[in-house]
Amino acid sequence: MAAGALGLLGVAAGRAQAQSVAISVDATAPGAPIPRIWDFHGFDEVNYSTSAEGRSLLDTLGQIDPTPPHIRMHFLLNTGNGTPALKWGSTNVYTADAAGNPVYSWTITDQIMDAVTGAGGLSFTEIAFMPQALSPHPTPYQNSSTYASDSGSFYPPNDYAKWGDLINTWAGHLNSRYPDVAQSWLWELWNEPDLSYFHGTAAEYEKLYDYTEAALHQAIPTAKLGGPAVASAGSSLLSSFLQHCANGTNAVTGKTGTRLDLVSFHAKGGAAIVSGHVEMNIGQQLSLHRTGFSAVAAVPAFKQLPIYVSEADPDGCAACPVSSTPADAYRLYPAYGTYVIEMSKRTLELASSMGVNIGGLITWAFTFPGTPYFAGYRALGTNGIELPVLGAFRLLGGLNGARLPVTSSGAAALASILTNSVRGAADVDGMATLDGDKVEILVWNYHDDLVTVTPATVNLTVRIPASFGPMVSMTHLRVDEEHGDAYTVWTSQGSPKTPSAAQIQAMQAGMLPAAVGAPQSLPVVGGTATISFTLPRSGMSLLTLSSSAAAVDGGVSGGAGRGGAPGSA
């Protein structure tokens, strides 16, 4: 692993002995369609979505996967003129005239939703925060600083009936404007009400939910609404909210219980500098998922509701650059993408073991227009250049169809990860699908420690359906420091603050998942195809085996999972 511009990547003592891993895939035993829990993205700065850079990234997210991505954003209901700002946003949907009557304006929110839906996405609509005219503390209204949460928008309403009217009117407008609202959009009330994003009590949040639920479902009876999007999966507010919806008195109807269609909470893993290098903590991430799953499972009426970890990230501050938080250097490297893939598979495994229904994991990362190249914000792209984590999503986009059984001698046990994270041997594992005449196999090499070690040797055997014939064609796409890593290209250029046109072109050429060797034809011997390759720490490989003699690209080399030319972030 390259030393990197920040010098925070280490070299393992003695360069640990190379790992040799046997992975087997049975393409003759397809199961249910693979749950696409990674097709969810979000970010604070709602007005960035309509910037040129933001629109381009939304277009990319809409292209790289066959499933439309859901997009979640803060500040959709805040008062203001829509000027983009770090950790702030506004849409001016609600003001009041001199007599206190509501004045609605959908101009800015329509532009935002047009950007999402125009890119082929769907809204994971975060209903927040409080318009100034409905806030009991309207001044000062904006946060006192970028990283403060003391806005007048973080309060329950001064008039719950007017809040309900706003939600009802806005939802009706959206339902008439966009074709997929009633069937496919998801709705969530507020963001982290257990922190300073909500200057109210748990009871006030529950009352707000009751009014929101009544108003939304009056406008769109089939809308899927939930919460409470708490920052801590162990928050008492999560348990209190679930009990309120199951057994509490509804503030609108006076009856017992409130309709709940989904449950959400947040979970962050943790990143630190240890012995001079970055160390991540996938175990903590998954432990928090387990805590939240347990809270939902404890309420029988809601155990099978879809659960969304509506912020699922390796650390807690997307808008903090590496200059202020050096441990967040992981964001610039393939390690971030490997973490996302590892988290996705292990969360599916955890949910299955606990008998709960995981709906999605929202990666809270987007782009930060106007900031320096590779500043280390939690982002998918920087100044139109894709980061390796977006390459991971491109590879995940290749997993389509029925999930296949995968076994790996290098896979860590889930119980061990929950207890110890991945601090000993690396977790070398895979997921695979059968999609018509293609077998797609995603293999990765995850470890918490971002250090240079000898690559693992992967010996892959694939049981091939008889219909594929005696030969299969294979393509191999990779994201690691030598494939699909524009940051490595940039550092090799001397980390220019203002890259030349030629340097930008070189970064663009190096930012997409790249082929490892030429397409190959492999014999099927005794019903099995065999492939061997090396995979470096934090590397990700997508191998496509096809019954066709012609090589295929696995649906991601051009980045167009649902058709169209590749976009750039």
Please write the tens of the pLDDT for every residue from 327-341. 999 999 999 999 999
Read off the pLDDT band of 553 (50, 70, 90).
very low
- Largest Cα span, the chain: 82
CB atoms within 10 A of CB 195: 15
pLDDT at site 8: 57
Tell me how far apart the alpha carbons of residues 546 and 539 are, in angstroms, rounded to a whole number: 23
pLDDT at 567: 34
Per-residue pLDDT tens over the stretch 464-491: 999 999 999 999 999 999 999 999 999 9
What's the CA gap between 340 and 456, in Å, rounded?
A: 20
Helix axes 282-297, 334-354, angle to 10 degrees: 30
- Residue in 195, 208, 121, 196 with CA at minimum distance from that of residue 167: 208
In this structure, are residues 150 and 143 in contact, taking their beta carbons and an 8 Å threshold?
yes
Residue 525 has pLDDT above 70, yes or no: yes
Averaged pLDDT for residues 180-191? 98
Would you say how long the chain is, in residues? 569
> Is the model's pLDDT at 17 over the cut of 90?
no
pLDDT (0 to 100) of residue 562: 45
pLDDT band at 14 (very low <50, low <70, confident <90, very high): very low
d(CA 206, CA 209): 5
- Distance, in Å, from the CA atom of 29 to the CA atom of 25, rounded to the nearest integer, reads 9
- Arithmetic mean of pLDDT, 495-513: 98
Which H or E run includes 209? helix 202-219
Residue with tokens 């997929």: 180
Residue 436, pLDDT above cutoff 50: yes
Q: What is the DSSP string of 130-149?
A: --GGG-SS-SS-S-SSTT--
Q: Are 269 and 280 in contact (CB under 8 A)?
A: yes
Pairing outcome for strands 262-268 and 306-313 = parallel
Alpha carbons 144 and 166: distance in angstroms, whole number: 27
3 state DSSP class of 30: coil
What pLDDT was estimated at residue 10?
Answer: 64
Beta-bridged to residue 535, according to DSSP, are 456
Position 563 scores a pLDDT of 40
Question: Could you report the per-residue pLDDT of 133-145, keeping only the tens digit for each?
Answer: 999 999 999 999 9
Q: Is the pLDDT of residue 550 over 70?
A: no
pLDDT in tens, 50-74: 999 999 999 999 999 999 999 999 9
Instruction: Give residue 566's pLDDT.
Output: 31
pLDDT of res. 552: 41
Task: Dump the DSSP string for 72-103.
Answer: EES-TT--S----BTTB-----EEE-TTS-EE
List the beta strands (DSSP E) in 256-305. 262-268, 271-274, 277-280
The predicted model gives 288-317 an average pLDDT of 98
pLDDT at residue 549, as a whole number = 47
Q: Give the alpha-carbon dihedral of 210, 202, 360, 43, to 10 degrees.
A: 100
Query: Strand pairing of 40-43 and 70-73?
Result: parallel
Cα gap 428→539, rounded to integer Å: 10
Determine what percent of the chain is predicted with pLDDT higher than 90.
Answer: 93
pLDDT, one tens digit per residue, over 118-169 is 999 999 999 999 999 999 999 999 999 999 999 999 999 999 999 999 999 9
User: pLDDT tens digits for 385-412?
Assistant: 999 999 999 999 999 999 999 999 999 9
Mean pLDDT over 348-364 rounds to 98
Identity (one letter) of the amino acid at 11? V
Residue-averaged pLDDT of the chain: 94
Mean pLDDT of 207-227: 98
pLDDT in tens, 225-258: 999 999 999 999 999 999 999 999 999 999 999 9
In the predicted model, is pLDDT for residue 494 greater than 70? yes
Average pLDDT of the segment spanning 497-505: 98
Q: What is the DSSP letter of 23?
A: E
| pLDDT score, position 18 | 78
The amino acid that residue 564 corresponds to is G
156 Cβ neighbours under 8 A, 6+ residues apart: 130, 136, 198, 200, 204, 205, 207, 208
**One-letter amino acid for residue 451 of the chain:** V
Q: How far apart are CA 502 and CA 505, in angstroms?
A: 5
Region class of 374: left (phi > 0), else alpha (psi between -120 and 50), else beta: left
The two tokens of residue 69 are 């991505």
Q: Do 395 and 479 contact (CB within 8 A), yes or no?
A: yes
